[in-house]
Amino acid sequence: MSGINVLITGGSRGIGRATALLAGQRGWNVGINYVRDATAAEATVQEVNEAGGKDVIGLFDKMNDAYGPIHGRVINASITAPAMPLADMNVDRLRPSFDTNILGAYLCAREAARRMPKSEVGTAKSIIIVSSVASKLGSPNEYVDYAGSKGAMDSLTLGLSKELGPHGVRVSAVRPGLISTDIHKSSGDADRASRLGAQTPMRRPGEANEVAEAIGWLLSPASSYVTGALLDVAGGR
């Protein structure tokens, strides 16, 4: 699969970073887009290069100019905020979550839907949306806004898979559970994954690279008849 071009949103940390490194190890051309952390993104790019891949920080035009049409799109960027019940959330809390997690993802998916069907026939083409098991658990008294935004990702996955299937583009979602990444720091509970992960059937939190492996499989021809899937990577949670 050399020459495969993959664009990752939110590729500077956590699951996005792990996915970028995995793609680099496979020799794919990797483009990284990030929201906040430029330093971390640059560090990830360096590691991707060292792993044998290539890098482009930017979105579709830069990726296309550098490597040609995109074959894989990973829509990963999302944010969370300190845990609280919905009754305590104001608009200033809700709007950034919905703007980033829903609107941002839909705009990225829309651009992929405009471009990817036009890519060469016979090439594996796949859009992977990073959702969360929060979409089915609801995250009561913590992040019902985040959970709701991820529910929107599940709906986007199902609908877009039906729109793009006839054009040879597969669309699936990965739904991580309690994964040891720094997103939990944003909630004010940095130890959340370790504490609650011990209560899952697997008795531990997951690691970002475990989610990345699932994403890598969905991007690859090995999953050529998989679309519209909501793949939980959550230790049975």
Contacts of 100 (CB under 8 A, 6+ apart): 35, 77, 78, 79
Q: Are strands 169-176 and 54-57 parallel, antiparallel or unpaired?
A: unpaired
Helix (H, G, I), strand (E, B) or coil at 113: helix
Q: What's the CA gap between 219 and 125, in Å, rounded?
A: 7
Query: Terminus-to-terminus CA distance in the chain, angstroms?
Result: 33
Helix 38-50 / helix 14-25 crossing angle, nearest 10 deg: 20
DSSP conformation letters of 169-189: EEEEEEEE-SB-STHHHHTT-
Exposure on the CB side of residue 60, measured as CA atoms within 13 A: 17
Q: How far is CA 20 from CA 9, 140, 169, 208, in A?
A: 10, 32, 21, 11
Q: Which of 106, 143, 146, 225 is catalytic?
A: 146
Q: Is 146 labeled as catalytic in the residue annotation?
A: yes
Which residues are identified as catalytic? 146
